[in-house]
Chains A and B, each alone.
Chain A
């Protein structure tokens, strides 16, 4: 049993916030880690499971939200960093997606 924990905060800069596609990507990435991962839209919580898309979508987190991410268990630091980076990269929905939407 490891006691590894990690926590971070990242501002959502993606245009429409944590919407459908980003939520799918976020929860898929979270599920790839064994540790428990939770997110919140305020430092004091409430904290919700980062692997469940129903709850993640229900946050309706718009652009500008300071998303809190915390994890505990094996690979907690890696998990938090990977999720933080995904949010920072606007969920990889930059130019390529804008073009796809025109197709």
Chain B
């Protein structure tokens, strides 16, 4: 019995599958026989393109929604004379029709593969799909059938091949693939599990495998223990989905009839694609670290990202946290090397120490504020003066924009409550328009237990009485002072914590998208005055 092997990837569409691995045979199984003259070659390719157009058009007619739009795009690309004439030019130079077509499409695909924007990069798959469809028509090749219930494993999959298969019970493990690819978007809508980016691993065909598209891994040759664990995780996932579909679309209300706001946390605007804005009361935490992954972002780049989320939220509040670099999130050109980064230059401390970098983000936020219900949140505030200093930068940049005649507006400015000093004496931080408790950092600072050391997991708990006491204190102060208090740490997404947080007095929770339904379900079970 071979030992189980785990391949790590990225969960692109949530779910679980267990089945035999199936790898598509390499294309080009059918061999093209060139026609005798160049004109006949051009005609043969033209006929193949026409056949692909007809095939795609009939797929369009049978599809709807996102699938139809993907196919319509492919159809429009096929109908454009550009590929036809570029291939004909190659044939005139003596290249065989199949090679000419492949060269033309591959040249275009190469352009997409190096695109900066992931969305455009993902379009390379559509072009590869078009290329293969025409080649199939040219050589008379028919695509092999994917066996029912199989786990498809390959570099990537063409959208048309994906749409042609009934994935019931199966799933996809893509060596490359993309989280924003058409296939991934379609898979998410249909609840088909997909793991992408597992890399160029040696994987034999036909073996039994487990696909875990929650953690993002493929387990080859699983033993009894892995299979059992996988099955119970699958069952739990199905229960979560059921709770989500029941509770997600409805506003959250406790068993005693109190309305609770449930907002969503996002780390990248792309995530909003998979979330129905109507299921949440807004965005309680939009992280901005993603913007700093590839160096320092410009003002317009930031503005575009913020506007994207504001447009999606459609008037609902969106709380954007200013850059929270440092700690476990180093950013080249911004953070510093230090021996104890969690107690060092991070969050607002770093922003105030590097005002020239912070000012760019402030300007983007001021400009974004005219496009929706924006709120700005400062991370790691430990003394009240930090709020005043940050507000001063907002005022200066607002005046500059005013002078330049650029539309802007000063949004409400609140703080993360994650340093014990703020949680113990929230009343001193009255310059903040609102409070959002960052339970992850609060827990690690209150219990002096690092959150990235698993040996301390028993200590670093949000349910610790000292942490709950502080949460209750901030919540009470919020009620007394008329300030909104929310909680946006992991504890908000943990259904086991929901009753504790409500009992502590919180009525606004910002949760991970995957937890919306479950947390709403817990809220519905909760009675005022009862902690379980």
Interface residue tally for chain A (C-beta within 8 Å): 29
* CB contact under 8 A between A57 and B123, given known A63-B304, A64-B300: yes
* A1 close to B (CB within 8 Å): no
A-B contact pairs, 11 of them (CB 8 A): A15-B307, A16-B117, A19-B120, A19-B123, A20-B73, A23-B73, A60-B111, A62-B304, A98-B277, A101-B66, A101-B189
Specify the chain A residue showing the minimal Cβ separation from B311.
A15
| B contact residues around A58 at 8 Å (CB) | 108, 111
* A53 close to B (CB within 8 Å): yes
The answer to whether A53 touches B111, judged by C-beta atoms less than 8 angstroms apart, is no
Instruction: Please list the residues of chain B having a beta carbon within 8 angstroms of any beta carbon in chain A.
Output: 65-66, 69-70, 72-73, 76-77, 80-83, 108, 111-112, 115-117, 119-120, 123, 126, 185, 189, 269, 273, 276-277, 300-301, 303-304, 307-308, 311-312, 314
The answer to whether B277 touches A103, judged by C-beta atoms less than 8 angstroms apart, is no
Q: A57: which of B69, B77, B81, B307 is its contact (CB, 8 Å)? A: B77
Q: A20: which of B69, B115, B273 is its contact (CB, 8 Å)? A: B69
| B contact residues around A15 at 8 Å (CB) | 269, 304, 307-308, 311
The answer to whether A103 touches B76, judged by C-beta atoms less than 8 angstroms apart, is no
* CB contact under 8 A between A17 and B311, given known A53-B77, A54-B77, A101-B273: no
A86–B109 Cα gap in the complex (Å)? 27
* A55 close to B (CB within 8 Å): yes
The answer to whether B66 touches A98, judged by C-beta atoms less than 8 angstroms apart, is no
The answer to whether A24 touches B76, judged by C-beta atoms less than 8 angstroms apart, is yes
| B contact residues around A24 at 8 Å (CB) | 69, 72-73, 76
The answer to whether A53 touches B72, judged by C-beta atoms less than 8 angstroms apart, is no
The answer to whether A103 touches B73, judged by C-beta atoms less than 8 angstroms apart, is no
| Chain A CB within 10 A, most for which of B76, B111, B115, B189 | B76
The answer to whether B73 touches A52, judged by C-beta atoms less than 8 angstroms apart, is no
Q: Which of A4-35 contact B (CB under 8 A)?
A: 13, 15-17, 19-21, 23-24, 27-28
CB distance from B89 to the nearest CB of A (A): 14
The answer to whether B307 touches A13, judged by C-beta atoms less than 8 angstroms apart, is yes
Q: B82: which of A17, A19, A52 is its contact (CB, 8 Å)? A: A52
A99–B269 Cα gap in the complex (Å)? 16
| A contact residues around B276 at 8 Å (CB) | 99, 102
| A contact residues around B311 at 8 Å (CB) | 15, 94
Q: A100: which of B66, B80, B83, B115 is its contact (CB, 8 Å)? A: B66
| B contact residues around A23 at 8 Å (CB) | 73, 76
The answer to whether B76 touches A27, judged by C-beta atoms less than 8 angstroms apart, is yes
CB distance from B473 to the nearest CB of A (A): 39
Q: A54: which of B83, B119, B269 is its contact (CB, 8 Å)? A: B83
The answer to whether B65 touches A21, judged by C-beta atoms less than 8 angstroms apart, is no
A101–B82 Cα gap in the complex (Å)? 30
CB distance from B59 to the nearest CB of A (A): 15
CB distance from A68 to the nearest CB of B (A): 18
The answer to whether A103 touches B189, judged by C-beta atoms less than 8 angstroms apart, is yes
* CB contact under 8 A between A55 and B82, given known A19-B120, A20-B73, A20-B126: yes
Other A-B pairs, 19, CB within 8 Å; known A58-B111, A60-B117, A63-B308: A13-B307, A15-B308, A15-B311, A17-B117, A20-B123, A20-B126, A21-B69, A23-B73, A28-B76, A52-B81, A52-B82, A53-B73, A54-B77, A58-B108, A60-B111, A60-B116, A98-B314, A101-B66, A102-B276
